[in-house]
Amino acid sequence: MLNGLNIILVEDDEIMGGSLMQRLKLEGATVSWHKQTRTALGAIRTPRMPVDAVISDIRLPDGSGEELFTTLCQSTTPPPFLFVTGHGGIEQAVRLMKAGAIDYVAKPFEISVLLERLANLLAVGPVDDLPPVLGISPAARRIEDLTQKAAASDGAVLILGGPGTGKGLVARRIHEMSDRCAAPFVTVNLAREPDAAAALLKPGGSLERVGEGVLYLHALPLLPEAAQAGLLAMLESDFPARIIASCRKGATEIVARGGLGAELFFRLGMMEIAVPPLSDRPEDAVWLMARLFGAMNAHRAVPLDGISGLTEEAVRNHDWAGGGRELRARMVRGVANAAGPLLQPTDLFPDYIADGGPLRTLAEAREAAERRHIVTALERCDRQVGQAAKLLGVSRTTLWDKMQKYGLQREDR
């Protein structure tokens, strides 16, 4: 997997460092192991041979992995960094990714997971060639992995998620990474199309224009029966295009209704990709805010100096019922009207309470905290409900009931 690659390992823990070095060498890499930032800095700045990647713990005895990375950035473009962090350091790792560090893996982890992340970052080349589509959280990276798998196949795909979760972005990413990328990407928004059957089936309509490209059907359950029948007929006559669709509910719920819709789902045999709401991915909300801020701030007569830490915290704690669309709308208003020099919480949330953010009822605060705690447990256990229930000290049934209550869909792996 890593034949011929030169990797620098920065890790002070003897057991972990030894295990990683042994496995990396077994995979064919040349490894230089350093236990302090001082020696690692010199090895990266003046290497005996080009460095392909750096694997670095964030906490080190004479400093931190962050200091190592930022010091390198002051004088050169560092090689791709893969940071190893404890759960409490994820916020720091996310900050480093924004600065260009490429990726991180949280402890505890399987070495196979680290190797997969390392192979992915070495395969994609510079980060600007393939920027994140939904964010930098573990959930967003899982979606990116599923997106790559979908792009490598040619079957139909169903993208699940609520409003503003980026379902259309995932669909376009699948198309752009697939062998069909040069062919058309045709979108039909069934929630807004006054006559969906005509839009699909009429001469010059979507089914005719798509050719060998991708037909993206947004809000699939709203597809009228006439259009379903026409699409089924096309599929039975060697339809050359690929179908990607999106909706809030999974195939199981739609098939349970029976009728033509169920037949269409069986015929398509869709792969499912579930996109969690933005409220479950607070680091992605902050990441998206930072991306939007740069472009919006450039249009101000007097640009702001940046975003305050309180604003980041308020964005991290907001429930984002409207997803990315709500965040964009708040940013448009907030950046335009901010008095500066920093974007403040009240610019985005007029009802913000300075000593604690937008004020919730006690019951709402308890539920929000419980929801975040369940999400954290599921992330640690790779969304295995049984393992997460043991970690939380509740029964599997109790956890499943709470997941249903909070709208935490279980992802199909």
8 Å CB contact between 179 and 306? no
Domain-embedded: residue 353:
no
Going by C-alpha positions, the residue among 279, 2, 226 that lies closest to residue 123 is 2
Q: How confident is the model at residue 32 (pLDDT cuts 50, 70, 90)?
A: very high
- Output the pLDDT for position 126: 38
Report phi then psi at 322, rounded to 5: -95, 5
Q: Does position 27 have pLDDT exceeding 70, yes or no?
A: yes
- Output the pLDDT for position 410: 42
Could you list the residue range(s) of the whole structural domain that residue 369 is in? 362-405
Q: Does position 74 have pLDDT exceeding 80, yes or no?
A: no
- Output the pLDDT for position 185: 94
CA–CA dist 399, 70 (Å, integer): 42
In the DSSP assignment, the letter for residue 212 is T
% pLDDT > 90, the chain: 23
Domain boundary among 274, 302, 330: 274
Going by C-alpha positions, the residue among 234, 320, 335 that lies closest to residue 282 is 320
Question: Exposed, middle or buried, 182 (CB in 10 Å: 0-12/13-18/19+)?
Answer: exposed
% pLDDT > 70, the chain: 84
Domain-embedded: residue 62:
yes
Domain-embedded: residue 341:
yes
Q: Does position 384 have pLDDT exceeding 70, yes or no?
A: yes
Provide the edge-to-edge strand list for the sheet that holds 30-34: 30-34, 6-10, 53-57, 81-85, 102-106
Residues 45 and 167 in one domain: no
Residues 103 and 192 in one domain: no
CA–CA dist 377, 2 (Å, integer): 32
Domain-embedded: residue 117:
yes
**Which contacts of 96-103 are long-range, i.e. CB under 8 A and separated by 24 or more positions?**
96/65, 96/66, 96/69, 97/136, 98/136, 98/287, 98/290, 99/69, 99/70, 99/73, 100/73, 100/127, 101/69, 102/127, 103/141
- Poorest-pLDDT segment among 89-93, 106-110, 125-129: 125-129
- Output the pLDDT for position 334: 94
- Output the pLDDT for position 406: 74
Q: Which residue has the higher pLDDT, 42 or 90?
A: 42
Residues 234 and 263 in one domain: yes
CA–CA dist 95, 287 (Å, integer): 9
In the DSSP assignment, the letter for residue 274 is E
Domain boundary among 257, 274, 291: 274
Per the structure, the count of domains in the chain is 4
Residues 125 and 149 in one domain: no
- Output the pLDDT for position 255: 62
Match 């077994």 to its residue by tokens.
26
Residues 374 and 311 in one domain: no
- Poorest-pLDDT segment among 15-29, 267-281, 318-332: 267-281
Using left for φ > 0, alpha for ψ between -120 and 50, and beta otherwise, residue 204 falls in left
Match 């305050």 to its residue by tokens.
308
The CATH number given to whatever domain includes residue 379 is 1.10.10
**Stretch 259-280: mean pLDDT:** 77
Q: How confident is the model at residue 129 (pLDDT cuts 50, 70, 90)?
A: very low
Going by C-alpha positions, the residue among 358, 124, 147 that lies closest to residue 244 is 147
Residue 57 Cα distances to 123, 127, 292, angstroms:
22, 21, 30
- Pull the structure tokens for residue 198: 């005509």
Residues 62 and 152 in one domain: no
Q: Taking the CB of residue 327, how many other CB atoms lie within 10 A of it?
A: 22
Q: What is the DSSP string of 96-165?
A: HHHTT-EEEEESS--HHHHHHHHHHHHHH-SGGGS--SS-SSHHHHHHHHHHHHHHHS-S-EEEE--TTS
Domain boundary among 209, 241, 274: 274
Residues 344 and 376 in one domain: no
The CATH number given to whatever domain includes residue 328 is 1.10.8.60
Residues 270 and 161 in one domain: yes
Tens of pLDDT, residues 154-196: 888 989 888 888 999 999 999 999 999 999 999 999 888 888 8
- Output the pLDDT for position 9: 94
Q: Does position 382 have pLDDT exceeding 80, yes or no?
A: no
Cα within 13 Å of Cα(332), Cβ side: 6
Match 């001082």 to its residue by tokens.
38
Tens of pLDDT, residues 198-254: 888 888 889 889 999 999 999 888 888 888 888 888 878 888 999 999 988 655 666
Domain-embedded: residue 412:
no
CA–CA dist 175, 188 (Å, integer): 15
- Output the pLDDT for position 87: 56
**Partners of 159 in beta bridges:** 246, 273
CA–CA dist 80, 96 (Å, integer): 12
Q: Does position 294 have pLDDT exceeding 70, yes or no?
A: yes
Domain-embedded: residue 126:
yes
8 Å CB contact between 231 and 259? no
CA–CA dist 82, 57 (Å, integer): 9
8 Å CB contact between 223 and 217? yes
- Output the pLDDT for position 151: 92
Residue-averaged pLDDT of the chain: 82
Q: Does position 90 have pLDDT exceeding 80, yes or no?
A: no
CA–CA dist 208, 184 (Å, integer): 11
Q: Which residue has the higher pLDDT, 168 or 400?
A: 168
Residues 257 and 209 in one domain: yes
Tens of pLDDT, residues 302-340: 999 899 888 888 898 888 988 898 999 999 999 999 988
Q: How confident is the model at residue 409 (pLDDT cuts 50, 70, 90)?
A: low
Q: Does position 348 have pLDDT exceeding 90, yes or no?
A: yes
Tens of pLDDT, residues 107-122: 777 788 788 778 766 7
Q: Does position 360 have pLDDT exceeding 80, yes or no?
A: no
CA–CA dist 394, 357 (Å, integer): 31
